[in-house]
């Protein structure tokens, strides 16, 4: 908790007029969490898989200093069928890659239409399949992708939902989440191990404050407070009244914090929009409490004692934002 967080936690500023907060997606990224916590780390940075692992670790580490939302998301287990091997199409650089889906290892495939990188010295790459990775050796350059990278990058007919199992905040100076030391998340990973692949979906949200009062710096909530309120609302929305992976003490503390912030900022409601124009099939989110949607446009209101009420709005209730730079 930094200085700003300490000040606001001890003596929150008060709003001079009722507020309504409106949150939309500014950035969104998936991390295949199993590769960080379950895979053997490749120590040689010259190895393409080792470089891939480090890039992902560095990117996730960078989020641990920020107030961002994260969702633990489960998708069906998928692996490359390294025993079968790849095959090339007759024309161009169409590469057919065999897959094994689910605990029953159902056979599927995906076709990659490759483009020759500028640095390549081979016209066609040398392909190596591992259970979770594929490497393309172009001579002067070797590319590495996970199976889920391919599912997001290349078109295919397979349809899978993303199941939200946990909602949290990335702010974690000790980087327990990035290092696989977050107990609640670790329990989920263990439960998913043989059936699902586990991801972190990290979102930076843009929050606009609507109020009739003139601009008043003392009445503005910090990014921490914005994220805490969104976390509480999204736990209620996706995980229900009795979230399985949040302890009772944590729930009571969160309820007290929500009540304090609602009173402090005279917060009459909040709208959270998890959709954006560039979203792909990985963003078809659902949980055991809510049906699948690529949008999840939510209206949030508050009752006494930190009570949160969430209602789903129609997907076409307002235009989607774009997060392209």
Show me where the domains of the chain are located: 3-77+160-312
Region 282-288: mean pLDDT is 96
Asked if 164 and 217 touch (Cβ cutoff 8 Å), the reply is no
What is each CA distance from 307 to 145, 251, 257, in whole angstroms?
Answer: 44, 11, 11
Looking at residue 16, its pLDDT comes to: 77
Q: What is the distance between the alpha carbons of residues 278 and 280, in angstroms, rounded to a whole number?
A: 6
- Give the model's confidence band at 219: pLDDT under 50 very low, under 70 low, under 90 confident, else very high: low
Q: Quick one: 104 exposed, middle or buried, by C-beta within 10 A (0-12, 13-18, 19+)?
A: exposed
pLDDT band at 13 (very low <50, low <70, confident <90, very high): low
What the block records as the tokens of 184 is 């609640």
Residue bearing tokens 């005279």: 266
Q: Give the pLDDT of residue 213.
A: 67
DSSP track, 90-120 = SSTTEEEEEEEETTTTEEEEEEEE----TT-
Total residue count of the chain as it appears in this document: 325
Residue 7: per-residue pLDDT: 43
Q: Return the C-alpha torsion angle 39, 287, 281, 168, nearest 10.
A: -60
CB-based burial, 283-312: b 16+ in 10 Å, e otherwise: bbbbbeebeebbbbbbebebeeebebebee
Q: Give pLDDT, residue 4.
A: 45
Residue bearing the bigger pLDDT, 233 or 43: 233
Residue 134 has pLDDT above 80, yes or no: yes
Average pLDDT over residues 284-304: 96
| pLDDT higher at 173 or 228 | 228
- In this predicted structure, the answer to whether residue 3 has a pLDDT above a threshold of 50 is no
Reply yes or no on whether the pLDDT at 1 is more than 50. no
Can you tell me the distance from the alpha carbon of 111 to that of 134, in angstroms, rounded to the nearest whole number?
13
Give strand ranges (E) for the chain: 19-32, 69-76, 78-80, 87-88, 94-101, 106-113, 126-129, 133-137, 142-146, 162-169, 196-211, 267-273, 285-286, 297-302, 308-312
Q: Is residue 179 within 8 Å of 61, Cβ to Cβ?
A: no
- The DSSP secondary-structure symbol of 42 reads -
- Is residue 162 pLDDT above 90, yes or no? yes
Mean pLDDT computed over every residue of the chain: 90
pLDDT of residue 9 exceeding 70, the answer is no
**pTM of the predicted protein model:** 0.92
Stated as kind and residue range, the H or E segment containing 37 is: helix 34-37
Residue 216 has pLDDT above 70, yes or no: no
Q: In which band, very low, low, confident or very high, does the pLDDT at 44 lie, cut at 50, 70 and 90? A: confident
Q: What is the pLDDT of residue 39?
A: 80
Cβ–Cβ under 8 Å, residues 32 and 196: no
Is residue 223 over pLDDT 50? yes
Give the DSSP letter string of 213-230: SPP-GGGPPPHHHHHHHH
For range 162-176, the mean pLDDT: 91
Beta carbons within 10 angstroms of residue 229's beta carbon: 26
């Amino acid at each position: 908790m930094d200085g700003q967080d300490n000040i606001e936690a001890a003596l929150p500023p008060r709003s001079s007029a009722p507020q309504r907060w409106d949150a939309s997606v500014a950035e969104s990224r998936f991390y295949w969490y199993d590769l960080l916590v379950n895979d053997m780390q490749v120590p040689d940075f010259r190895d393409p898989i080792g470089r891939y692992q480090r890039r992902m670790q560095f990117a996730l580490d960078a989020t641990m200093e920020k107030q961002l939302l994260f969702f633990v998301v489960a998708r069906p287990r998928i692996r490359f069928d390294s025993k079968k091997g790849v095959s090339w199409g007759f024309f161009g650089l169409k590469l057919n890659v065999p897959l094994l889906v689910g605990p029953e290892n159902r056979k599927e495939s995906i076709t990659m239409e490759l483009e020759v990188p500028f640095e390549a010295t081979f016209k066609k790459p040398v392909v190596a399949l591992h259970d979770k990775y594929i490497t393309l050796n172009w001579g002067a350059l070797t590319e590495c992708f996970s199976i889920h990278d391919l599912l997001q990058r290349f078109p295919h007919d397979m349809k899978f939902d993303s199941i939200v199992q946990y909602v949290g905040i990335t702010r974690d100076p000790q980087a327990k989440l990035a290092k696989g030391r977050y107990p609640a998340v670790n329990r989920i990973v263990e439960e998913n191990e043989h059936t699902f692949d586990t991801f972190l979906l990290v979102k930076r949200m843009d929050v606009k404050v609507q109020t009739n009062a003139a601009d008043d710096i003392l009445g503005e909530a910090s990014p921490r407070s914005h994220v805490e309120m969104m976390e509480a609302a999204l736990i209620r929305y996706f995980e229900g009244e009795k979230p399985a992976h949040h302890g009772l003490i944590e729930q009571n503390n969160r309820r007290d914090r929500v009540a304090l912030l609602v009173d402090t900022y005279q917060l009459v409601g909040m709208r959270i929009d998890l959709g954006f124009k560039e979203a792909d099939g990985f963003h078809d989110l659902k949980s055991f409490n809510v049906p699948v949607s690529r949008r999840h446009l939510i209206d949030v209101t508050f009752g006494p004692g930190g009570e949160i009420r969430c209602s789903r709005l129609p997907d076409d209730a307002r235009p989607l934002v774009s997060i392209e730079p």
